[in-house]
Structure 1
């Protein structure tokens, strides 16, 4: 089985004057990789992929691949027009990506049988592993446990980014042995790791990424008292980073660190001043 163990950061897409800031993107990529994270997820939700056209998504991927070693980049692939999605997939697969992160088709709310067919169609067309992105509060569709377990039996589906909010599904995935589970809800990171998740795709790991890596290492070493203490130190920051819609707070704090500009693309809005100041105070205490 391909291993996606570790802390993966769903990297933001920096903007300057409305355009992608490629210099800042490369700088941020190097900063995060130097911190010891397992790798980067490009064009996920945190990367504002929905605000990027297909050419921009590929350009962002290419820029990250300039700084990231082979095997340390996962690419997001989302959409509800299957033919277009598979066409973009083939363009992505010309690049050396470690995997594709794929959510259910959004907005159209397909049946459970259609969801299974969708994921298997994407997996059949892929030359790299697929990570199922289970996030019903964004897609509008819930993957039932039986459907999820059927989907992950496909030999090319190797992991699930678990944002489903259903502990029974999480436990069933862990018990199945068919896939690795990556925590996708940052506040559930400690409990997910203790249950057996192999790591996380965590937006909050943009900030003090080395602390998230330390937390994972402590759990793996069965140093649970120390791991719990590390996690509880991170909790106020994690909570504040989601006080406004992601990735506005993350971008505000990265801008405070001098890594990017704090800009988002409409209809998303920049982080409010009160939240930004709170984040700066929390950062100083970590």
Structure 2
């Protein structure tokens, strides 16, 4: 690991899916098995109850139980970051406190959605959250889903809070990202699998990957090669992941659906499982990546 860049939760993080039973209940045993497999195959941190974790359709109790179960499975060797973002500041604060009690190492907080708060309200929301617990906070900037950007100027101000330490960057604004990185010590993690090497080469902390649910070693190999000084190999490794990433993240189906098409297990409505043709295509791309790696 490159010690010169801040990476408070490790470099190689997986945005873990939330397993359910065939009847739709939370499957904590399967979550523990998945967490153990991901860590054994190169993940240095796990992010729970994010977009990929189907947070809109899991209850507060389920989110808390998931943190507790994964914490028990991976012990103290792997950071566990709990997604606690909602559209309601009070609700977000309550989930943060519950996550801390359940054993989380950090919090992933998405911008409040639907109400589209102005930037001063976005800033106040995150400051209230950061003051509510002792846990470090990763801001989740994904305006394509929330409808509201954390603007670079807002991000720079928020970086002054001692517990706001990282960003999961899904803004697709590399120029704005570099502005914030130049002005702050925030650890930037890309949430877009196609940008793993690009952001890392610019001094980013690493990634929070959806595709890593099924191919953790492939993405870990990218940052390992870069840290070893072999930039050509890092680029080759990144390119190997492109066909699977494109099918999983840019072919019309949510990442949760495509991950579970490969891993098995149901999604919760309103999501629906992938069709047979999509699943077959995903399987072929997955097997091609494994054989090339």
Q: Is 1:33 the equivalent of 2:42?
A: no
Contact 2:105 2:136 in 1 (8 A): yes
Which one of the candidate residues 23, 46, 60 is aligned to 2:29? 23
The alpha-carbon distance between structure 1 residues 2 and 225, as it changes in their structure 2 partners (threshold 3 A), is closer
| Cross-structure match for 1:154 | 161
Superposition pairs of residues 7-156 of structure 1, within 5 angstroms? 7-16=12-21, 17-70=23-76, 71-156=78-163
How far off its partner does 1:264 sit? 0.4
Taking the aligned partners of 1:154 and 1:88, their CA distance within structure 2 comes to: 20
Q: Deviations over 1:166-209 (max 9, x none)?
A: 11221012212321100111111121111111100000011221
Q: Is 1:166 the equivalent of 2:173?
A: yes
| Secondary structure of the corresponding residue to residue 73 of structure 2 | coil
Which one of the candidate residues 244, 248, 257 is aligned to 1:241? 248
User: Over the residues paired in the alignment, what is the CA RMSD in angstroms?
Assistant: 1.3
| Cross-structure match for 1:275 | 278
Contact 1:4 1:180 in 2 (8 A): no
How far off its partner does 1:69 sit? 2.3
| Cross-structure match for 2:3 | none
Greater shift, 43-52 or 163-172, is seen at 163-172
How far off its partner does 1:5 sit? 3.2
Which one of the candidate residues 199, 202, 209 is aligned to 2:209? 202
Taking the aligned partners of 1:177 and 1:147, their CA distance within structure 2 comes to: 12
| Cross-structure match for 1:250 | 259
| Cross-structure match for 1:258 | none
How far off its partner does 1:102 sit? 0.3
Contact 2:10 2:45 in 1 (8 A): no
Which runs of 5 or more residues in structure 1 are unaligned?
256-260
Superposition pairs of residues 197-236 of structure 1, within 5 angstroms? 197-236=204-243
Q: Deviations over 1:83-111 (max 9, x none)?
A: 22212221111132221000111111111
Q: Deviations over 1:203-259 (max 9, x none)?
A: 00112211111111111222110011111111101111122112101111112xxxx
| Secondary structure of the corresponding residue to residue 101 of structure 2 | coil
Taking the aligned partners of 1:64 and 1:224, their CA distance within structure 2 comes to: 34
TM superposition score normalised by structure 2: 0.92
Taking the aligned partners of 2:101 and 2:248, their CA distance within structure 1 comes to: 34
TM superposition score normalised by structure 1: 0.94
Q: How many residues align?
A: 280
Which runs of 5 or more residues in structure 2 are unaligned?
1-5
* Displacement over 4 Å in runs of 4+: none
How far off its partner does 1:2 sit? 6.5
